[in-house]
Structure 1
Amino acid sequence: MSENKAKGPHQPGEGIRSMRSTSVFRLINFELYTKPNTIIMGIGLAAITGVFGYIAYMRYKYESLGYYVAIKEDGQEQFVKKKSNWE
Structure 2
Amino acid sequence: MSEKNEKNVPDKHQPGDGIRSMKTSRVFRVVNFELYAKPNMVVMAIGLTAFIGCSAYIAYMRSEWADRGYYSTYTADGEETFKKRKSRWD
Q: Say whether the fold is shared (TM-score over 0.5).
A: yes
Show CA shifts across 1:20-55 (max 9, x none): 111010011111111111111111110110011001
**How many residues matched?**
79
Structure number with greater CO (CA < 8 Å, separation at least 6) is: 1
Q: Which has the larger radius of gyration?
A: 2
2: CA distance, partners of 1:18 / 1:86: 72
- Structure 2, unpaired ranges of 5+: 1-11
Letter in 2 for 1:41: M
**Is the aligned partner of 1:82 residue 2:82?**
no
1:61 to 59, 64, 74: 64
After TM superposition, the score normalised by the length of structure 2 is 0.72
Q: Percent identity?
A: 51
TM-score by length of 1: 0.74
- Find the aligned partners of 2:86 and 2:57 in 1 and give their Cα distance: 27
Of the candidates 36, 43, 46, which is equivalent to residue 43 of structure 1? 46
- Alignment-derived partner of residue 20 in structure 1: 23
CA RMSD of aligned residues (A): 2.1
Q: Report the Cα distance in structure 2 between the residues aligned to 1:62 and 1:49, rounded to whole angstroms.
A: 20
Decide which moves more: 73-82 or 55-64.
Answer: 73-82
